[in-house]
Amino acid sequence: MSYSADATHDADVLRPLVDRYLKVATDPIQDQRRRLWADHFSLHPTRPPVLATFGMWNYWCQTVFGDDTLQCRSPVLREQERNLRMSLFHASYADDTVFEPWLVVPAERGGHGWEDVWGVRIRTVQSAEPGGAFHFDPVIANLDDDAKLVAPVHIIDEAVTQSRVDEVRAAVDGLLPVAVDRAPRAINFMGDIITQLCRLRGLEQVMLDMYENPAWLHRVLAFMRDGILASHAAAEAGGDFTLLDHHNQAMPYCHDLEWPRPDGGPRRCRQLWGFCAAQEMTLVSPAMHDEFVLQYQLPIMRRFGLMHYGCCEDLTRKIDMLRQVPNLRSIAVTPVADVAACAEQIGTDYAISWRPNPTDMVCAGWDELRIRRLIGEGLAACRGGFPHIHLKDIETLQGDITRLGRWVTIVRETIDLAWRDT
């Protein structure tokens, strides 16, 4: 079959999806949600926004949005098809996600790839059980193996990138703008240092290094910090940061920063939201977290306009430590954290990104009374602060895909009761 016939076939697949998505993205409710999030992250009183994201919902995602389900033939257009189908499903359960009226094409980045950003390929050992876990097989096994590390570089292959853009634009025929994500690889989890180091060295070994090889560990952390900073500086110099590159694990709207838009570039990091975490440090003391992680993250975080900190780690004992981040605006309060203790420490200084345990919510049976009780208790603990509720890291819905929509409805009803007098 000729490329022309393939292109026609793929356009016929994509355009109905784009039509449906355009109706979602241009609905007036999107502007209401933008204002809600902007007020929330500007620390103005609002009703708590609600998010439910399903990126970790592995088996179902593969079954419904996996490669075997896609109809487009071009690899570039298959990813657009997948993103559109996932967004349309997400829109169906009506949380406070903002759906933007544009499509995003990832630039082709040169240098090392996602699995070898630091010059050595991360190794994993997968369970033989279908859908089972895997563990990392450290490649920095000995102290002198740090010589293998190569700092990341920021390079854009303009020809390949433009070819992708042209292909998507031709397929959607002007129905939506097409923007390009040109940000460097070394941002978010790829740029928080500790995520990559633990994959390269091993989590247990990094913890032992804090005691047994602290000078070596400090040297490696400094090398990685400087490599990330150089990558960001190169991206800024190349004009490759744009308003597409806000990241805060929620909806990156705030009155203190420009809002996302497809033609918003180039920008400096100081004009953007940034995100950093240290999930691997949950069981590490505040003092050692500070010494071996936060002090190396601080120069990276200071470059950004606003920061969100945390993902799945328990930060209950580390709120005071995080006050060193001068541009911090949002802190994760995770399923393993003490919500009341975190909320008391955070007060009105930061937004509270509360993540209730998905096992209690949707993953292990369905108990509406339990959901209402737990959400009500969390809201009571956060009263007087600026919380949003983010259901994330969902591994299963036990075959009942209606749970997400029902959960959003229940949470909104609980908010209406618990927050009405706030």
Contact (CB, 8 A) for 311 and 332 = yes
**What confidence score (pLDDT) does residue 61 get?**
67
Of the candidates 138, 147, 276, the residue with the CA atom closest to the CA atom of residue 220: 147
Which position has the token pair 């190349």? Answer: 238
Average pLDDT over residues 65-72: 84
Which H/E stretch holds residue 354? Answer: strand 351-354
Tell me if residue 45 falls in helix, strand or coil: coil
**How does DSSP classify residue 47?**
P
φ/ψ of 330, rounded to 5, equals -145, 140
Q: What's the CA gap between 252 and 190, in Å, rounded? A: 19
Average pLDDT over residues 103-113: 89
Domains and CATH numbers, the chain: 3-418 (3.20.20.210)
Q: Which two tokens stand for residue 161?
A: 């990138």
What's the CA gap between 194 and 279, in Å, rounded? 8
Query: For residue 205, which amino acid is it?
Result: Q
355-364 pLDDT, tens digit each: 999 999 999 9
Mind listing the pLDDT tens digit for each residue in 151-161?
Answer: 999 999 999 99
Give me the torsion for CA of 390, 391, 394, 398, rounded to 10°. -160
Confidence of residue 58 (pLDDT cuts 50, 70, 90): low
For the cut 50, the answer to whether the pLDDT of residue 270 exceeds it is: yes
Cβ 312 vs Cβ 343: under 8 Å: no
User: Shortest CA distance to 52 belongs to which of 419, 409, 416?
Assistant: 409
* Residue 59 pLDDT: 60
d(CA 10, CA 14): 6
Q: What is the DSSP letter of 159?
A: H
| Mean pLDDT of the residues in the chain | 93
User: Residue 100 and residue 106: Cα distance in Å, rounded?
Assistant: 16
- Name, in order, each residue with C-beta under 8 angstroms of 366's C-beta and a sequence gap of 6 or more: 400, 403, 406
Q: Are 277 and 331 in contact (CB under 8 A)?
A: no
Q: How many CB atoms lie within 10 A of CB 299?
A: 12
User: Residue 2: its pLDDT value, please?
Assistant: 44
Report the run of H or E that residue 126 belongs to, with start and end.
strand 123-126
pTM of the model: 0.94
Of residues 30 and 62, more confidence is placed in 30
DSSP SS3 for 136: strand
| Residue 132: half-sphere exposure toward Cβ, Cα within 13 Å | 9
Q: Sign of the CA dihedral 249, 253, 255, 259?
A: positive
Two tokens, residue 119: 């010059």
Q: What stretch of H or E contains 205?
A: helix 203-212
Span 89-105, average pLDDT: 96
